[in-house]
Structure formats: C-alpha cells, structure tokens
Amino acid sequence: MAMNVSSACFSVLSYKKPNRIRAVASEESTGAVTLKTDKEDKVKLGGSELKVTRLGIGAWSWGDTSYWNNFQWDDKKLKAAKAAFCASVDGGATFFDTAEVYGSPLALGAETSETLLGRFIKERERNNPGEEVAVATKFAALPWRLGRQSVLCALKDSLNRLGLSSVDLYQLHWPGIWGNEGYIDGLGDALEQGLVKAVGVSNYNEGRLRDAYERLKKRGIPLASNQVNYSLIYRAPEQNGVKAACDELGITLIAYCPIAQGALTGKYTPKNPPSGLRGRIYTPEFLTKLQPLLNRIKEIGGNYGKNQTQVVLNWLIAQENVVPIPGAKNAEQAEEFAGALGWRLSNEEVEELRSLASEISPAIGFPVENL
C-alpha cells in the first residue's frame, strides 16, 4: 500500500480489502531451472509475515511530470498506466511500490502516484472481488518533519490518497538529515497501531541499516526490507556491505532501477541514447562501453527464449533475497517483466554476467546512499 507528502494529518477513508497475488520459485537448483509460476506463491519480506510476489512493479512514473513522461501527463498516459497495472496483476506481479513524492500535484497537470494506484485498485476490485494486491509506500524524510508523529501523520495522509485503512509495507524513503531515531520509532508505532503489516527503509547504508534493525528489534519488530538502487551495472549494494548485511540480518533487498532506467533493455544505443535527465547519466560514451555486455545478455536470453530485460531481472531474482521492482508505464512493459518469472539463470551465467559487468564503470546512484 502507499503514502503521500503533506504536513497535515488527514482522516482515513473507508477501506476496501486490497488485492494480493504471489509468484515464487517452486524448486531450487544450482543450475538452470524451469520454475512453476503460481499465483499462490510468494516470498516473505525479511522476518515479517508479509509475503509478496518475487517481482514487483514500481509506480514512480505514474503521474510524474518532472522526470518521466517527457514532462507532461495526459489521458493517454493515464490509460497506459492503468493498463500496466492490470497487465502486471494478470501476469502474477501484484506487489506495487509507490511513494508520497511520486507523481505531480494537480496544479502541475498531473496526479500523484498514490492517488492513481488507489484508483486502479478500486476499479480492478469491482470486476475481480477477492483478488489481492500488496502495496508499499514511502515516507519522505523532509527536514521540517520531526519526531515519530510526523511518520504517522504522513502515513495517514497517504492512506487518504490511496483510500485504504492500512498498507502492506511502509518505508522510510531516505535517511533524514536528523531525527532518524524518531522516524524509526514512528515505523514501529505504525505497525503496532495496525496501520501497516511490515516496515522497511530505503537508501540506507550498512551502518544505518544495522542501527534501524537493532532499534526495531528491541520492540520485537522485524525490519522487513531495504530498498536500494541495484542492477547488473549498479552493484553498489554488493560492494558497500548493504547486501551482505541484508543477507546476514534476514532483511529483503528490494531493487529499484533494476533495468538501469532502460539502459539494460537494449532499447538505447550510442546513436539513440535516452532523452531528458536520463541522457545525462546514460551517455553515448557509457552506452558504447555497455554494448559487449548487452550482446552477451542477448545471447544468454536466446537460450531461454527470453529478451534482455527478462534476463537482467532474472539475474536479480537469482541472487535470492532480492525482489526487483521495475517501473511499468504501459501494458507491454508489464507483460515483458512477467517473463522474468518462472525460470532461473544458472549460477555460472549469473557469475559470468557479474564478471562482464564489473568491467564497466557504474552509473550514477542516488547520493543519499552515502549520507
């Protein structure tokens, strides 16, 4: 479930039971494996009781006019986002991640991601009663937000936008400049009050992650997840101790930007780089160095009847304890992402791709990781 940024607390709207579905490996092996995809299969997030599909969907672009959608939002993009939602659920990916800062206010000609997600859930539910969707949202650690009560206020504000009485996963979007202990306490309060089923953090380095884990542990509350930038060409979590800490402590790593904002899909080339702000990150020079890796990904995918996008998502799924959440802007992308489920790269292929990717300088990450 999800949340939004506001300094005021709003009353919670009437609740309709959210939808949920699952997608998990039914067997394990050290080699390449074909897995069953069953809508009743899920993976548990960390030490919590919350179970979600092995692949989720990020809703960052829904309603956004500042980074995605060529800086404009219209009915066509709205219909495409709704189609992405429905195709994701149909394909077995029913874990959706949003945040109070995703999307744009009506004053800028768009809507917030939370508002859209809540609407899509309700519209889907009318025709598919009992179908469940798990929703995650995030609290923005803005400098003027102080203390545990700010977390509860923001959460209730998000619930109002979503039209829900509780969320599945509530996360701190990034570490605050100050007041982080209060934020962690607010997460615990939200869980104890039944407003959330599990709590997590995002963009937390190893030290902050361990501190948050221990503070919640004292209250008997598991830290379910840490959402960080993680992909085949951005493996900072492997190098800075975050992934190792997650594995050690039993915290699920949720991987955002798992296809490197499209750079790993094969869609972009040195002669056809992405537009807008992404073009400043994935430059023609960077894409030139990326081509040998993309070629090998394509070759491996051919052995499974999969494309490059599906291979790089499966590479993350094969890490274990990792749930990738690629962003879907339309039904075609959502259907493509679902093709990452139901099979598994071999250990040898996983390591080969990691080795090839290590020869490429990583793209720029989210600076708050280093706070």
Residues with catalytic function: 102
CB 4 within 8 A of CB 157: yes
How many other C-beta atoms are found inside a 10 Å radius of the C-beta of residue 241? 16
d(CA 358, CA 315): 14
CB 137 within 8 A of CB 158: yes
CB 209 within 8 A of CB 169: no
Beta strands, E only, 94-215: 95-97, 132, 134-139, 167-172, 196-202
Nearest to 22 by CA among 44, 49, 2: 44
Sign of CA dihedral 62, 152, 229, 104: positive
Q: Between vectors from CA 8 to CA 6 and to CA 13, what angle results, nearest 5°?
A: 95
Q: Between vectors from CA 102 to CA 101 and to CA 107, what angle results, nearest 5°?
A: 85
Taking CA atoms, 239 is separated from 16, 48, 127, 313, in Å, by 42, 26, 46, 19
- The distance in angstroms from the start CA to the end CA of the chain is 27
